[in-house]
Structure 1
Amino acid sequence: MNFITYLQNRQKRVNDKLDELLLVAEEEIAGASKLHQAMRYSILNGGKRLRPIFVYATGETFNASLELLDTPACAIEFIHGFSLIHDDLPAMDNDDFRRGKPTCHKAFGEATAILAGDALQTLAYQIIAEKCCGATETKVAMAKVLAAESMRMVYGQVVDIDEPNDISQLENMYMLKTGALIRASIKLGALASGIINDAEKITQLEKFADCLGLAYQIQDDIFDIAETEGKNKITYPALVGVAASKAKIEALYQQAIAALQNLHVDSSLLFALAKYVMTRKY
């Protein structure tokens, strides 16, 4: 199976699982149809599903079954969905469109959007507690990872609101706001596969995640040059130029690959995923 086929298969798998879990949530709480419509609208609206793919690819690298990985993969996507809804709000980034469609607060109103984000965050923890296969200690560890990295993501949003003004602050914001959930995804996959107590492997996976998270956001800055030009927004290309930004991405890629090599296992899935992320066009 080539990597694109793998990617498509896992995307379909997680989309089906997300749909199932949202239907169950709707059945459990009657009389909140608008809320559930907003949740489904925000989650089942496309997207690359990279964070769930990181869960699958990491877990499969260490021989975890797909059944063990489904719930953490969905949990991280619910957290990501919650973060996007709140990030788009007028009090935050004030965006009207996401993935070519009106943002949640534009489609359902600001109050419902806030509640939909809250509900998705809560649902992530609920499915870890109730649906996750594995020992209780694994579920607790997964919840701790979600909580810690979600908090780091929130800190990143705080830095964004305060408007970073130099490269160090910008990188810190990217590592928090974008990198935290990528790190969470990889650690959830590791937890599901039972290697969380292997400190050296976890350290290398965290390095891998941090490099990809920072590179991913620098890529987005390059893709968004036309949209941010003239808006007085601090971005990586605005501070150092496009050429230096691309050089930074390449350096981060090499660091990510070095971290994988230090795992001393067959990391072909993670190698392919890193290459896919680093060479994406959107």
Structure 2
Amino acid sequence: MVVTDGTHFSKQASQFDLHAYLAARQEKVEAALDRSLPIIYPEQIYEAMRYSLLAGGKRLRPILCLATCELAGGTIEMAMPTACALEMIHTMSLIHDDLPAMDDDDYRRGKLTNHKIFGEAVAILAGDGLLAYAFEHIAVETQAVPADRLMKVIARLGRAVGAAGLVGGQVVDLHCEGVCDVKMETLNFIHAHKTAALLEASVVSGAILAGASDTDIQKLTRYSQAIGLAFQIVDDVLDITSTQEELGKSVGKDLRAQKATYPSFWGIDESKKQAQQLVEQAKSEVSGYGDRALPLMAIADFITARTH
């Protein structure tokens, strides 16, 4: 049902309890992730995979997948394997991003990074294992979803994480470290691929599983691209303004690595303004879905309001 009374929808949005919604969905995701990856022989690699996969975090990507599946008329159950796979892929990217060859970080989510516990070789393999298992998990565990929809989801996730997505963005990011004349177009490319691509896949995959129309997919794609860029802008600001205790990871690393960031172009205040404008754009894309869009609207606001 599309709500045409804007006043009614605004009232419903203001009353939506995002904290309770996120807590309930996070509990379901945590339980599913725990079940998805038991420890078997060789134990060390499974322990390393579980160490990072179950280290906490907002679980934003799986929750977005569940939310869009429900918005499009699907169920949590049909989307949960893909939701878990998205978190596996995201966790892989964090493990590899923290390695000495990349960002060389000691802490992630308030805990020692994977390579600090298990060594660099096992950390690399743990990331590889999570990436491969993510696709297996979707194919084997998804129930009551037509095969053609599953194929679309698997293809979209593969593109989001590969050279056309996350990997490509990371390569350009590494190439630009210490470069003084990085252009805004290059910075946007990095984060459209390194950060926003997997967020986009998270949003759109849930809708695909539920059989959403092409029009719905286009709206949700624009929504996800906007929140993905806003998310990165806020991350750049928090790297400057927060403490390690607040973020659960090292701070000031962008400055030390001489990386181009949105605050380095705009300053902190303008960066916050740009992020808020992107959030408003995102919300406008889904407002026509009425009450079904309340989680997506609230999550968009959460992105700019978060402190970690």
TM-score, normalized by the shorter chain, greater than 0.5: yes
Alignment of 1:115-130 (within 5 A): 115-130=125-140
Which shows bigger deviation, 73-82 or 1-10?
1-10
In the other structure, the counterpart of 1:97 is: 107
In the other structure, the counterpart of 2:59 is: 49
- Could you say what secondary structure the match of 1:281 adopts? coil
Equivalent residue letter for 1:78: M
In the other structure, the counterpart of 2:157 is: 146
Equivalent residue letter for 1:193: A
- Could you say what secondary structure the match of 1:124 adopts? helix
Identity %: 39
Which shows bigger deviation, 56-65 or 258-267?
258-267
Q: How many residues align?
A: 275
Aligned-pair CA distance for 1:230: 5.2
Alignment of 1:23-172 (within 5 A): 23=38, 26-27=39-40, 30=41, 32-133=42-143, 134-151=145-162, 152-163=165-176, 165-172=182-189
User: Which whole-Å CA distance do the structure 1 matches of 2:129 and 2:202 have between them?
Assistant: 20
Q: 2:32 aligns with which of 5, 10, 17?
A: 17
In the other structure, the counterpart of 1:200 is: 215
When residues 81 and 233 of structure 1 are mapped into structure 2, their CA distance, relative to the original with a 3 A threshold, is same
- Structure 1 contact 62–190 (Cα < 8 Å) conserved: yes
Structure 1: gaps (5+ residues): none
- The alignment's C-alpha RMSD in Å is 1.6
User: Which whole-Å CA distance do the structure 1 matches of 2:306 and 2:291 have between them?
Assistant: 26
In the other structure, the counterpart of 1:261 is: 287
- What is the TM-score normalised by the length of structure 2? 0.85
User: Which whole-Å CA distance do the structure 2 matches of 1:61 and 1:94 have between them?
Assistant: 39
Per-residue Cα deviation, 1:82-131 (whole angstroms, up to 9, x for no partner) = 11111111111111111121111111001100110010001100111100
Higher relative contact order (CA 8 A, sep 6+): 2
Per-residue Cα deviation, 1:199-240 (whole angstroms, up to 9, x for no partner) = 221111111000000000110111111524752332111121
Structure 2: gaps (5+ residues): 1-15, 242-251
Alignment of 1:214-233 (within 5 A): 214-225=229-240, 227-228=252-253, 231=256, 232-233=258-259
2:19 paired with 1:4: yes
Aligned-pair CA distance for 1:54: 0.5
Equivalent residue letter for 1:272: A
2:204 paired with 1:191: no
- Could you say what secondary structure the match of 2:55 adopts? coil
- Could you say what secondary structure the match of 2:292 adopts? coil
